[in-house]
Amino acid sequence: MLANRSALVGESLAIQDVLKTIDKISQTDSTVLITGESGVGKELVARAIHDKSARASKALVVVNCAAIPAELIEAELFGHMKGAFTGATQNRLGRFEAAHGGTIFLDEVGELPMHLQAKLLRVIQTRQFEAVGSNKTIEVDVRIISATNRDLESAVQKREFREDLYYRLNVIPVKIPSLRERKTDIPALIQHFITQFNGATGHTVEMPQGQILDALMAYDWPGNVRELENLIERLVILKGQGSVDLGDLPHRIFQKFAEGRPAGTGAMSEWEFPRMVLPTSGLDLKAIVEAFENHLVDQALARTGNNKNRASELLQMNRTTLVEKLRKRGMIQTVGSRNRMREDAAVAAGQMNDAVLLSSNANNNNNNGNNGNKNVNGNSGNTTNAINNNGANNGRNSGTGIDL
């Protein structure tokens, strides 16, 4: 389902329910309280209600109660007279008056200071208030929608939020579930954001498929739709075109995907801790560990297009440690920041045979992960799962065909 920027995208029953509720309540002037975690789309829902209502041609005034200093909120909401307080050099219209005929959206209403909660209660009941420093009562015709990611019921129990105000705000509750509770919305949202950001940038990144989509579905999205939107924006900008690879995904998403895979399949076969059988004749532990390390280093380089900064991030090590390891293997001729450009040129020019070779192995691993037998073997015929120990790291490779 594609839609314009302000429309709500989603195919889950939960979002379809929210859409139906929006349709019904936009025909009324009832007060609405939208709840849900950060980034689920509370403001988008408030806008949708306003846009569908008879008030659509008038203003939708958004007030973020958490973003305005407590001492300024009253003047901000209700306006003030010249000289009402230090710095009030002229009369100022409040947000309630600015919303006359339209809708006011009180975002993060749970953060409203106690002393203003009584004043808001009166506005909800009578639509009347006075500007700061004035005795004149102002009356407005405003629809009130508020939102919070706080549990207002428990705030009421802790006496941090007025109970009477809570019931007045909560005439029509709209609860937006977290994205992890409606994962079936993820593909439609990805498609929506890919189209949106491709359109905005002129890029042509393709809709993720297969295990990339699986990985995006497996992740729990603690930042909800906003986190997904930000990721797709970043992927579109950084990739520019073509398909998204597993290596393009942030580590936290890739890891969650890998953890959820049964052992020996797909990404998990690359990620899982190897199970080695110690041969009766023993083994050269140092060489095996070194080969294993080289295998992962080379994959990180291949996956990041030889970008040592990103590769070192993937391996959770300092860049300098990575460079040192590559230098020891003869994959970098010079060290030191002075020569970094030369190093990069050397790497790009193909002194990284291991990385190139293992890059294709890494891809094969994805496809052949069910083959549980892996060899530490410099010249094994089965390159698919072999941890090759060739190139600069030779000599100590025992070639014992040890199962990993």
- DSSP for 176-201, written as a single string: PPPGGG-GGGHHHHHHHHHHHHHHHH
State the nearest-atom distance from the C-beta of 223 to ligand ATP, in Å. 8
Q: Does 149 bind ligand ATP (CB under 6 A)?
A: yes
127: left (phi over 0), alpha (psi -120 to 50) or beta: left
How many amino acids of this chain bind ligand ATP (CB under 6 A)? 17
Considering CB distances under 5 to 8 angstroms, the limit depending on partner class, which of ligand ATP, Mg ion, none binds residue 183? none
Considering CB distances under 5 to 8 angstroms, the limit depending on partner class, which of Mg ion, ligand ATP, none binds residue 9? ligand ATP
Q: Does 38 bind ligand ATP (CB under 6 A)?
A: yes
* Options 229, 270, 298, 354; binder of ligand ATP; rule CB under 6 A: 229
* Options 61, 225, 297, 362; binder of ligand ATP; rule CB under 6 A: 225
Q: Does 81 bind ligand ATP (CB under 6 A)?
A: no
CB 147 within 8 A of CB 107: yes
Q: Does 94 bind ligand ATP (CB under 6 A)?
A: no
State how beta strands 143-148 and 103-107 pair.
parallel
By beta-carbon proximity to Mg ion, the closer residue of 104 and 314 is 104
* Options 33, 35, 42, 95; binder of ligand ATP; rule CB under 6 A: 42
Considering CB distances under 5 to 8 angstroms, the limit depending on partner class, which of Mg ion, ligand ATP, none binds residue 30? none
State the nearest-atom distance from the C-beta of 42 to Mg ion, in Å. 5
Stretch that binds ligand ATP, among 25-33, 210-218, 223-231, 267-275 (CB under 6 A): 223-231
Beta bridge partners of 402: 376
Based on its alpha-carbon atoms, the radius of gyration of the chain, rounded to whole angstroms, reads: 30
The interface with ligand ATP within residues 8-27 (CB under 6 A) comprises 8-10
Q: Does 302 bind ligand ATP (CB under 6 A)?
A: no
Residue 390: Cβ-neighbour burial (10 angstroms; 0-12, 13-18, 19+): middle
By beta-carbon proximity to ligand ATP, the closer residue of 43 and 284 is 43
The Cα–Cα gap between 335 and 333 comes to 7
The interface with ligand ATP within residues 181-200 (CB under 6 A) comprises 189, 192
Residue with tokens 């992962």, as numbered in its chain: 296
The interface with ligand ATP within residues 53-72 (CB under 6 A) comprises none
Residue facing Mg ion at closest CB distance: 43
- Show the DSSP H helices in 140-283 as ranges: 152-157, 163-169, 186-201, 210-218, 224-239, 251-259, 266-271
* Options 43, 214, 233, 284; binder of ligand ATP; rule CB under 6 A: 43
By beta-carbon proximity to ligand ATP, the closer residue of 99 and 174 is 174
SS3 content of the chain, % helix, strand, coil (to 5): 50, 10, 40
The Cα–Cα gap between 299 and 311 comes to 9
The Cα–Cα gap between 35 and 170 comes to 10
By beta-carbon proximity to ligand ATP, the closer residue of 176 and 331 is 176
State the nearest-atom distance from the C-beta of 143 to Mg ion, in Å. 18
The Cα–Cα gap between 287 and 202 comes to 49
CB 194 within 8 A of CB 228: no
List interacting residues with Mg ion (CB under 5 A): 42-43
The footprint of ligand ATP (CB under 6 A) covers 8-10, 36, 38-44, 149, 189, 192, 225-226, 229
